[in-house]
């Protein structure tokens, strides 16, 4: 009951806050802006945010986009989201424009409340810290560097399936895929792999992830308040790990290349300065958020589609069994094995086309600019949507049909398949995600066939595809 009243109070405060914001912004922006894109701002204060979010909750996030493309006969339209005037860019041309003008005309945007969950001891903004992190990560997350970790991924996957899948008649998939990707992230980012140590992080991390995109009201009992407390707990644990790693590196007990933590501790910026322990803890915390949530959603979606498409399952099964039969007993997967998983990756890509883990992302206009003859004012938010190309017949013939062959040869046209974004802000963990997804698929199909226990289970998008009941399945182990 306390949580209920706190939530009601939170909504009331948010309503009042947005009311003042709306009145102020209308006075500030006025009606002297030039040729704005077609569209409407919706209801006062809330704009079209509820409709934007509710289409995802109902399992059809693309509806918000396509309804307005049709209504305005335009691939760029105006709306109001999350308390701010916004413009939605659609189609390959819109994606190309935004991705090509990163940090020129637009920059990444997310709510300032993120700084409360990821505070930086350097007193710089999350945007600046993200730029620093993006400069540092490619050396660790590029394909050549990740090759040495495939065996580690394989070993953890074997433990995961032995513990959570084998000798069970049925399982609920989504919590298990989250556990798998979180375990991998803990091991490869900070070398925490003991299941009991991972479990210590798992519950508070779930609280953090659930509150990160909640209404940012910091009152007792609200998801946002619980997320701040959870982040503080995890950060304290991470600082202890960081202090110990410093000692181990100095004593030669840890390797400079064993994980991202060692990489961060030993890498300086252009001025020769190293990050503070608190900053590293924040960065690791952010990586744990980004490093497993999207992949766990994709792994669950793969299980769903393979259950529904037996002919696609057979193709993946044959490919993975050929690789398994080529291995000596106890031999771990390696880079060459991953490169042979071409059909499996085409299947994974088609899953991410139809159920992208990243629905889209916000940008903010750095300056006034024009696009397609329309004026985009400085400070306005800009949103790009993966569905505006992924489910669009202009870019993918029969867009609702599951067809992995779309990714053979040169694959889709540029800027049409964007599950990892694009341009300077393309997800630096793309290759990491590919590896963890393929290793998951390898162990899954080698062990089981399965069927969905809720044939028409609803998929909620909030903000990633999430089976309403967690995707319970009945397992049928392959005979040895």
How far apart CA 206 and CA 204 sit, in angstroms, is 5
Q: Check the CA dihedral 70-73-74-79 and report its sign.
A: negative
Task: Say if strands 84-89 and 381-385 run parallel, antiparallel, or are unpaired.
Answer: parallel
DSSP annotation of 1 reads -
CB neighbour list of residue 65: distance below 8 Å, 6 or more residues apart: 88, 90, 385, 387, 388
DSSP annotation of 73 reads T
In what helix (H) or strand (E) does residue 187 lie, and over which residues does it extend?
A: helix 173-190
Residue 15 sits at φ, ψ, to 5 deg, of -60, -45
Tell me the helices (H) and strands (E) count for the chain, helix number first: 19, 12
How far apart CA 291 and CA 283 sit, in angstroms, is 11
How far apart CA 141 and CA 386 sit, in angstroms, is 23
Residue 477 sits at φ, ψ, to 5 deg, of -65, 145
Residue 66: closest CA among 51, 83, 81: 51
State the Cα torsion 292-423-384-414 to the nearest 10°.
-100
How far apart CA 198 and CA 186 sit, in angstroms, is 7
- Ligand-binding annotation for 427, yes or no, is yes
Q: What interhelical angle do 173-190 and 150-164 show, nearest 10?
A: 140
How far apart CA 223 and CA 242 sit, in angstroms, is 28
**Residue at token pair 């498409």:** 309
Q: Check the CA dihedral 172-401-429-236 and report its sign.
A: negative
CB neighbour list of residue 342: distance below 8 Å, 6 or more residues apart: 319
User: Residues annotated as binding site?
Assistant: 427
User: Residues annotated as binding site for heme?
Assistant: 427
């Amino acid at each position: 009951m306390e949580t209920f009243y706190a939530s009601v109070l939170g909504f009331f405060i948010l309503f009042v806050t947005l009311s003042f914001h709306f009145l102020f912004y209308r006075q500030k922006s006025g009606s002297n802006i030039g040729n704005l894109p077609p569209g409407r701002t919706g209801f006062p204060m809330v704009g079209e945010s509820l409709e934007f979010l509710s289409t995802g909750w109902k399992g059809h996030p693309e509806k918000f986009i396509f309804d307005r493309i049709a209504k305005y006969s335009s691939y760029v339209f105006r709306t109001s989201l999350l308390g701010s005037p916004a413009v939605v860019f659609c189609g390959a041309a819109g994606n190309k424009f935004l991705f090509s003008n990163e940090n020129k005309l637009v920059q990444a945007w997310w709510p300032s409340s993120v700084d409360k969950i990821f505070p930086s001891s350097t007193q710089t903004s999350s945007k600046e810290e993200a730029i620093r992190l993006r400069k540092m990560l490619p050396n660790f997350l590029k394909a050549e560097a990740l090759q040495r970790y495939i065996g580690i991924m394989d070993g953890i996957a074997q433990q995961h399936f032995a513990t959570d899948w084998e000798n069970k008649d049925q399982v609920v998939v989504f919590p298990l895929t989250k556990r798998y990707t979180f375990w991998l992230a803990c091991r490869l980012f900070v070398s925490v792999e003991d299941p009991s140590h991972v479990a210590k992080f798992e519950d508070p991390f779930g609280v953090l992830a659930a509150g990160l995109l909640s209404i940012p009201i910091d009152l007792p009992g609200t998801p946002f308040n619980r997320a701040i407390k959870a982040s503080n707990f995890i950060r304290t644990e991470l600082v202890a790990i960081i202090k110990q790693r410093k000692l181990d590196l100095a004593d030669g007990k840890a390797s400079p290349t064993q994980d991202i933590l060692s990489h961060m501790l030993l890498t300086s910026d252009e001025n020769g300065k190293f990050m503070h322990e608190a900053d590293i803890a924040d960065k690791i915390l952010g990586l744990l958020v980004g490093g497993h949530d999207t992949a766990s959603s994709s792994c669950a979606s793969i299980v769903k589609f393979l259950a529904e498409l037996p002919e696609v399952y057979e193709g993946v099964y044959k490919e993975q069994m050929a690789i398994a039969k080529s291995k000596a007993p106890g031999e771990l997967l390696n880079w060459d094995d991953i490169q042979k998983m071409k059909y499996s990756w085409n299947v994974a890509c088609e899953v991410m086309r139809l159920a992208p883990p990243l629905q889209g992302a916000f940008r903010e206009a750095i300056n006034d600019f024009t696009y397609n003859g329309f004026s985009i004012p400085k400070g306005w938010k800009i949103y790009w949507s993966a569905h505006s190309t992924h489910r669009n017949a202009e870019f993918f013939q029969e867009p609702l049909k599951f067809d992995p062959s779309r990714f053979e040869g040169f694959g889709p046209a540029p800027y049409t398949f964007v599950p990892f974004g694009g341009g300077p802000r393309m997800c630096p963990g793309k290759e990491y995600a590919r590896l963890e997804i393929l290793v998951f698929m390898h162990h899954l199909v080698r062990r089981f066939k399965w069927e969905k226990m809720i044939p028409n289970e609803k998929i909620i998008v909030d903000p990633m595809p999430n089976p309403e009941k967690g995707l319970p399945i009945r397992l049928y182990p392959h005979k040895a």
